[in-house]
Structure 1
């Protein structure tokens, strides 16, 4: 293997780490910027922190409908 060549395993690792870091940050910023009913905001923050990628996907699939629209 030549130095500087990136193989499929390196690309998968980079994408996996990127999703593991970027997706929870985007979810946490979205949660903090919006209002929720009751304690839902705290619950979603804890879900995203403890279950990084899975919690973020769960928030984007289910949690965004629980936001209070202030438009």
Structure 2
């Protein structure tokens, strides 16, 4: 019907990457760490997302107080 499964998977991965980047920005990690995590997610969309999910920074700076 026009939309392939690969296209749908691509959209899902893009949405998850954007969600990860938003969460990285909101984390309490240092600026350098945020930049490295964002680069990892952007350069390796699937693998970077998995690594971030398993080991990335979590929560906001306000939540750590």
Which one has a bigger Cα radius of gyration? 1
CA distance in 1 between counterparts of 2:27 and 2:55 reads: 15
CA RMSD of aligned residues (A): 2.6
Q: Does 1:54 align with 2:41?
A: no
**Bigger fraction of residues in strand:** 1
> What's 2:35 paired with?
42
What pairs with 1:1-71 in structure 2 (closer than 5 Å)?
A: 5=1, 10=4, 12-37=5-30, 39-64=32-57, 69-71=63-65
Structure 1: tracts of 5 or more residues without a match:
none
Higher relative contact order (CA 8 A, sep 6+): 2
C-alpha distance after superposition, 1:14-69 (max 9, x if no partner): 3311223111100000000111147221110110111112111110111146x865
Structure 2: tracts of 5 or more residues without a match:
none
**Which 4+ stretches in 1 moved above 6 angstroms?**
none
CA distance in 1 between counterparts of 2:35 and 2:24 reads: 9
